[in-house]
Amino acid sequence: MNKKSEQDIYVAPNNPSPSRPVIIDGDTCIGCNQCVEVCPRDIFMPSSVKGEPPQVVFSEECWYDGSCVFICPVEGAIKLHFPLMWRVPWKRKETGDYFWVNKNDEKNPK
């Protein structure tokens, strides 16, 4: 082991994971790392390059609370990517409207 490899630490995105809880738009993200700071589960790591988007390293730990999206100063730079099972709506026969079960809405059936 050479001296350089003993000193350098690298972080890489967790690509093999099937979970992708957030999507960061690399073109609009300014790399402010506010999402990194606010995340209650610490799923992000800041980029080693100043101004570059953070990396999602611990995607399975995400709670989907949306704090990263809420705090981001650039609209559309980061968005939640809910698991497929959470994205399937029900459709009303009468109206054709889509709705989600268990959402706090008086229109939804109990």
**Positions in the binding site for ligand SF4 (CB under 6 A):** 24, 29-35, 53-54, 72, 74, 77-78
Q: What is the DSSP string of 40-103?
A: TT--EE--SSTTSPPEE--GGG-----HHHHH-SSTTSEEE---HHHHPPEE-TTT--EE-TT-
What's the closest the beta carbon of residue 43 comes to ligand SF4, in angstroms? 12
What's the closest the beta carbon of residue 73 comes to ligand SF4, in angstroms? 6
Give CA 99 to chain center in angstroms: 23
What's the closest the beta carbon of residue 104 comes to ligand SF4, in angstroms? 28
Which of residues 20 and 99 has its CB atom nearest to ligand SF4 in the complex? 20
CB 78 within 8 A of CB 24: yes
Give CA 35 to chain center in angstroms: 9
Which of residues 24 and 62 has its CB atom nearest to ligand SF4 in the complex? 24
Give the C-alpha separation, 79 to 90, whole Å. Answer: 23
Which of residues 41 and 99 has its CB atom nearest to ligand SF4 in the complex? 41
What's the closest the beta carbon of residue 16 comes to ligand SF4, in angstroms? 23
Which of residues 32 and 57 has its CB atom nearest to ligand SF4 in the complex? 32
